[in-house]
Chains A and B, each alone.
Chain A
Amino acid sequence: MISRSCSRKISPGEYASTVRSRLTERKLLFLAGIYTLAGMLALYLGAAGSPDRQALPVGLATISAFLFVSMYWHFTGYRGDCFLLPITAFLSSTGLVFLFRLDPAYGERQFIWLLIGLGALVLTTRLFVDFRFLSDYKYIYALAGLIALVLPIFFGHEQGGAKSWLNFGVFQFQPSEFVKILVVLFLASFLAENRAILTAGTRNLGWIALPGPQEWGPLAAMWGVSLLLLVCQKDLGAALIYFGTFLTMVYVATSRIFYVLFGMGLFMTGAAASFYLFAHVRARVETWLNPWPYIDTTGYQVIQSIFAINSGGVLGTGLGLGYPKYIPAVHTDFIFSAICEELGLLGASAVIILFMLFVFRGIKIALKTKDDFTALAASGLTALLGLQAFIIIAGVTKLLPLTGVTLPYMSYGGSSLVANFILLGLLLNISHEAEGSL
């Protein structure tokens, strides 16, 4: 087997460290496996009503698939971070257990998507292990991404209030899930290239130094795209994530808080304008401030979510003993509320801590990188995932206005799951490179 990762000669020391880290990875995956099987066993025995005969085999297959990925990396000498895959395994198997508990039909499909996602992960770590070449074609895929993003406005259909889906008959596809990764890569390479100019500025505007239009042009375009998403697709969540990631990356690249403040100001202006111009944005905000008058309409979902969180208490009702199905769309955006109800505050905190660990590893990878492009890409991908998890958890708990985005690795949804496994693969590739050049 000749993979790109093996094309360079590996020193014996490197090989030993690879073996060690893959061993740690498998130990952790083993723990995740016990955890998954415990949940699946409960469902197999009928914790969610009727016994689910598929639960155990699916649990076994899931964890075997994760172990297989680890074994594969072991044999190809892959040096990617050894904690990210187990963290992801914990997250996605929690999601899978809950989907089987909520509706086995969703569980089965999610299981297939999980296998596809792991396949995408292996492919990413194999084909894009020298991901640097991506940096050379940035304008091409920026354009491709933009087209993919805009397509649903004309050909898409609306689902859950957001017009961000393309229908391909057998399955639906949400381009924005994939485009967000392209956006990070584009920004990473663009910012790495123009970092110096953006930091210093080429012309002086009174007290503040500003770069020229060819430098800030693409950045202004980002702002435009975010607003476009907000207005045309009613996809408030995606707009927030895009723009949040964009601002964090600009800050990391330039250290200039001015850009962040300016960007936030622009976003606020846009948001305020759309609040007054568009009824659906206004409805979202009003529902967030006080959902009770809208309990029959726009507030129904978030109030049902609050009911679920409330009935869970600290310890939760126990798997299968709550009533999370009263929340509409509980299997996608609101899966976190189901976890709050059945696993309680403690279970919910555990999920949040898993996301924190993911972010922690991502930032560590970014800190270990040797050049601007990889540093920006790693921190951008980490920020993307972290912000998405934060925004949806805050949305379903009414800390922020509700926005329809998925909880990474946990919510039902093929596009989201596969895209996030590709994101994981890219992050691992960066750490693979960083470890290699030690």
Chain B
Amino acid sequence: MKQNIFKLGCLLLGLFVVLVVYLSYLQAVMGSNLAANPYNRRLQDIEARVRRGNIYDAKGIVLARSEFNNNTGRRVYSRGADMSHITGYISGLYGRAGLESAYDSYLLGMEGADLIRNFVNKLLGKEQKGGDLTLTIDADLQGLAMELLRGRRGAVVLIDTRTGALRVMASSPSFDPNHLEESWPRLVQDEDSPLLNRAAQGAYPPGSTFKVVTAAGALAANPGIATSTFNCPGYLMVGGYKLDDLAAHGAVDLKKALAVSCNTTFAQLGLGLGADGFYRTIKAFGMDQDPGLEIPVRPGTLAAPGKMTPTELAGSAIGQGEVLVSPLHMALAAAAIANKGVIMRPYLAESVKDSAGETVRQAVHRPWLTATTPEISGIIKDGMVDAVRYGTAGAAAVSGMQVAGKTGSAQNPRGQTHAWFIGFAPADQPRLAVAVILENAGPGGTVAAPVAGRLLSAAVSKGY
């Protein structure tokens, strides 16, 4: 019987060990999004006592601040709907979102020195204050992008290729965070999904803009194609299907194929690359990853290996088929070509200061992925320059500066093609990469390219 008692003891102690392990596991895996749940009133409680910090844009314009009237705080967003997908909102009814949620602990003074300072303030009955957040976004450029998108469904991303700082991340339609709670019932029912941040969470067929990625993969697998010539009769037969081209481009080299956006050439390159090479290229460009933006990002998706038939592969190579990516991912692809193959980690938060004005967090510029080599990116850049000079992307041209670009007109089941443009400028020393999409708006060359041109020229004149 003593043996049994001993076993019982082991069992009971084992149960408690399980509890300790389970509690540790809970702390390790439980998401920080629990704090943002509207049913969790902890943050709201702190909110009522603490003067929440401000959010500034890259030039120091106040984007969000707290106003106090009769001890009830109210959050005021000076740029309204322009910035709402980035800054997010705080609502007692509908929870918390965006950078407001991601930086809660800083904005509410719950980190580092502020934690101690606010504890002392609490004991002394003084006002408790949070820290301030400065973004990389330029509010005026963001406003321009929203103006250019006005009334249409679409998104614009503008990124500094050398640092990864996002200067514009616009999504239309949007919502006014100043009147979130009144308009919520309408927002969630709106068929155009104004709450969705299309720039980072959109899932679009990239169309011909994807040829930039396919070209990088094909050149990496076979450098010889840089000097080969392809013949385009205006269609391609793949697995019994006829893949139509826009025109019979005749004999083209790779650069010209990019400039005139020849489907036949790139479908062939995709088939030559093979499914494995294609997947490898997608990975190299980070298309299937979340770069860790602190706001939600939808990683791109494409056909699973089992479903990657030659027809699917040829379609995917020209950005059709099952390939679905976000404008952010396409902007990063353009940034890779601009920055000699290296994608800098994209980010939105430039710095965080505590309530005393001390900088407690400063963004560090670091490479995220090496998508391709400087040689390959050079070849593709030439093709993209040609596309603007005499090809499909002419409408993106800006006087006094060479723009490199690639258009896309992505077929989709919902009507007219999605108008795409990706590119960067200035072509000789690239600093800015851009991606524009306008849903069901027609051809990229005439609809999306002018938007990109206006934005690039405004950005450069502002000194970016």
Q: Which residues from A are CB-within-8-Å of B39?
A: 295, 300, 303-304, 307
Q: How far is the CA of A356 from the CA of B15 in the complex (A)?
A: 9
A252 within 8 A of B: yes
B23 near A363 with CB under 8 A, answer no
Q: Report how far A119 CA is from B41 CA in the complex, Å.
A: 41
Contact A390 B16 (CB under 8 A): yes
Contacts A252-B1, A323-B42 given: A383-B22 contact, CB under 8 Å?
A: no
Q: Tell me the minimal C-beta distance from A184 to chain B in angstroms.
A: 13
Q: Which residues of B contact A311 (CB under 8 A)?
A: 34-35, 40, 42
Cβ contact within 8 Å between A313 and B12: no
Residues of A within 8 A of B27 (CB): 309-310, 313-314, 345
| B304 interface contact, C-beta 8 A | no
A382 contacts chain B at the CB level, 8 A cutoff = yes
Task: Select which of B2, B13, B26, B35 is within 8 A of A375 by beta carbon.
Answer: B2
Distance in angstroms between the alpha carbons of A345 and B21 in the assembled complex: 10
> Is the CB of B69 closer than 8 A to any CB of chain A?
no
Interface segment, B3-11, B176-184, B363-371? Answer: B3-11
Question: Contacts A323-B41, A397-B22, A397-B26 given: A359-B2 contact, CB under 8 Å?
Answer: no
Tell me whether A359 and B12 are in contact in the complex, defined as CB-CB below 8 angstroms, given that A323-B41, A326-B41 are known contacts: yes
Q: A386-B15, A390-B19 are in contact. Are A309 and B35 (CB under 8 A)?
A: no
Is B246 an interface residue, CB under 8 A from the partner? no
Closest to B24 in A: A345
A372 / chain B contacts, CB cutoff of 8 Å: 1
Given contacts A307-B42, A310-B30, A326-B41, contact A348 B23 (CB under 8 A): yes
Given the complex of chains A and B, what is the CA–CA distance between A80 and B162 in angstroms?
75
Among residues of B, the one whose C-beta sits closest to the C-beta of A47 is B123
* A252:B5 contact, CB within 8 angstroms: yes
Chain B residues with CB under 8 Å of A253's CB are 1, 4
A353–B16 Cα gap in the complex (Å)?
8
CB distance from A189 to the nearest CB of B (A): 15
Interface residues of A in 377-395 (CB under 8 A from B): 379, 382-383, 386-387, 389-390, 393-394
Chain B nearest CB from A49 CB (Å) reads 10
- Does A167 reach chain B (CB closer than 8 Å)? no
Q: How far is the CB of B151 from chain A (nearest CB, A)?
A: 38
Task: Evaluate contact between B40 and A382: CB separation under 8 angstroms.
Answer: no
Contact between B23 and A383, CB atoms less than 8 A apart: no
Question: B5 touching A367 by the CB < 8 A rule?
Answer: yes
* Distance, CA A372 to CA B1, complexed state (A): 8
Complex Cα–Cα for A348 and B27 (A)? 12
A306 interface residue per 8 A CB criterion: yes
- Are the CB atoms of B12 and A382 closer together than 8 Å? yes
When distances are taken between beta carbons in the complex, the residues of chain B under 8 Å from A295 are 39
Asked if A399 is an interface residue, CB under 8 A from chain B, the answer is: yes
Query: Of B5, B17, B20, B22, which is within 8 A of A379 by CB?
Result: B5
* Residue B37 lies at the interface, judged by CB distance under 8 Å to chain A: yes
A435 to B18, CA, bound (A): 33
* A306, B26: Cα distance in complex, Å: 9
Contact B4–A251 (Cβ < 8 Å):
yes
User: Is the pair A359, B35 in contact by a Cβ cutoff of 8 Å?
Assistant: no
Q: Write out, one digit per residue, whether chain A residues 293-334 have a CB within 8 A of any chain B CB (1) or not (0).
A: 001000010011011011101100000011100100000000
Residues from chain B with a CB closer than 8 A to the CB of A345 are: 23-24, 27
CA distance A306 to B39 in the complex (A): 11
A360 CB-CB contact with B under 8 Å: yes
A340 within 8 A of B: yes
A383:B12 contact, CB within 8 angstroms: yes
A-side contacts of B40, CB under 8 Å: 304, 307, 311, 326
Q: A255-B1, A359-B13, A382-B12 are in contact. Are A349 and B23 (CB under 8 A)?
A: yes
Smallest beta-carbon distance B81→chain A, Å: 30
Given contacts A307-B40, A310-B30, A397-B26, contact A390 B1 (CB under 8 A): no
Contacts A359-B13, A375-B1, A383-B12 given; indicate if A340 touches B34 (C-beta within 8 A).
no
| Contact residues of B: prevailing secondary structure | helix
Question: Is A387's CB under 8 angstroms from B19's CB?
Answer: no
Counting CB contacts under 8 A, is A352 at the interface?
yes
**Minimal beta-carbon separation of B93 from chain A (angstroms):** 13
- Chain A residues lying within 8 Å of B34, measured Cβ to Cβ, are 306-307, 310-311
Residue A412 at the B interface, CB < 8 A?
no
For B4, the chain A residues whose CB sits under 8 A away are 251-253, 255
B20 / chain A contacts, CB cutoff of 8 Å: 349, 352-353
Q: B127 interface residue, CB < 8 Å from A? A: no
Closest A residue by C-beta to B123: A46
Assess the B42–A356 pair: CB atoms within 8 A: no
Q: Which residues in A have their C-beta under 8 angstroms from that of B9?
A: 359-360, 363, 366, 382
How many angstroms between the C-alpha atoms of A307 and B1 in the bound complex?
A: 44
- Nearest residue in B to A363 (C-beta to C-beta)? B9
Q: Confirm or deny: A248 has a beta carbon within 8 angstroms of a beta carbon on chain B.
A: yes
Q: Are B8 and A383 in contact, CB atoms less than 8 angstroms apart?
A: yes
Interface status of A178 (Cβ within 8 A of chain B): no
Those of A231-258 within 8 Å (CB) of chain B: 248, 251-253, 255
A355 at the interface (CB under 8 A from B): yes
Nearest chain A CB to B24's CB is how many angstroms away? 6
Q: Given contacts A303-B39, A313-B27, is CB(A352)–CB(B5) below 8 Å? A: no
Please measure, in the bound complex, the distance between the C-alpha atom of A372 and the C-alpha atom of B4, giving whole angstroms: 12
* Cβ < 8 Å to A, chain B residues 299-336: none
A363 touches B12 (CB 8 A): yes
B191 within 8 A of A: no
The answer to whether B2 touches A363 (Cβ under 8 A) is: no
Which residues of chain B are near A394, meaning CB under 8 Å? Answer: 19, 22
Determine if B2 and A399 form an interchain contact, defined as CB atoms under 8 angstroms apart.
Answer: no
Assess whether B1 is in contact with A363, with CB atoms less than 8 Å apart: no
Distance A338 CA – B22 CA, assembled complex (angstroms): 17
Q: Are B16 and A356 in contact (CB under 8 A)?
A: yes
Please state if B35 and A310 are interface contacts (CB–CB under 8 Å): yes
Query: B48 to nearest A CB, angstroms?
Result: 12
Contacting residues, chain A, for B119 (C-beta < 8 A): 321
Q: Determine how close the nearest CB of chain A comes to the CB of B282; give it in whole angstroms.
A: 34
B2 engages A367 (CB within 8 Å): yes
Measured CA separation A345–B25 after assembly (Å): 10
Which residues of chain A from 144 to 168 have a CB within 8 Å of any chain B CB? none
Residue numbers in B under 8 Å from A363 (CB-CB): 5-6, 8-9, 12
Cβ-defined contact, A251 with B8, below 8 A: yes
Shortest beta-carbon distance from B378 to chain A in Å: 50
Residues of A within 8 A of B16 (CB): 352-353, 355-356, 359, 386, 389-390
> Is B45 on the interface with A (CB-CB < 8 A)?
yes
Residues from chain B with Cβ under 8 Å of A383 in the complex: 8, 12
Point out which of A253, A306, A363, A376 has the most chain B C-beta atoms below 10 A from its C-beta: A363
Closest to B27 in A: A345
Residues A390 and B15 in contact in the complex (CB < 8 Å), given A307-B34, A397-B22: yes
Docked complex: A256-280 residues within 8 A CB-CB of B: none
What is the CB-to-nearest-CB distance from B298 to chain A, in angstroms, rounded to a whole number?
Answer: 22
Complex interface residues of chain A between 402 and 417 (CB less than 8 A to chain B): none
Complex Cα spacing A372 to B2, Å: 10
The answer for the CA separation of A46 and B35 in the assembled complex, in Å, is 26
Chain A nearest Cβ from B32, distance in angstroms: 8
Closest Cβ of chain B to A335, distance in Å, is 15
Contacts beyond the supplied A303-B39, A307-B39: 14 A-B pairs with Cβ under 8 Å: A248-B8, A251-B4, A252-B5, A255-B3, A300-B39, A309-B26, A310-B26, A321-B119, A323-B41, A360-B13, A375-B2, A387-B12, A393-B19, A397-B26
Pull 19 A–B residue pairs with CB atoms less than 8 Å apart, ordered by A: A252-B5, A255-B1, A306-B34, A307-B35, A307-B37, A307-B40, A307-B42, A310-B27, A310-B34, A314-B27, A326-B42, A352-B19, A363-B5, A363-B8, A367-B6, A375-B2, A376-B1, A382-B9, A394-B22
Nearest first, the 5 closest Cβ-Cβ pairs linking A and B are A363-B9, A386-B12, A252-B4, A307-B40, A310-B34
- Residues of chain A at the chain B interface (Cβ within 8 Å): 46, 248, 251-253, 255, 295, 300, 303-304, 306-307, 309-311, 313-314, 321-323, 326, 340, 345, 348-349, 352-353, 355-356, 359-360, 363, 366-367, 372, 375-376, 379, 382-383, 386-387, 389-390, 393-394, 397, 399
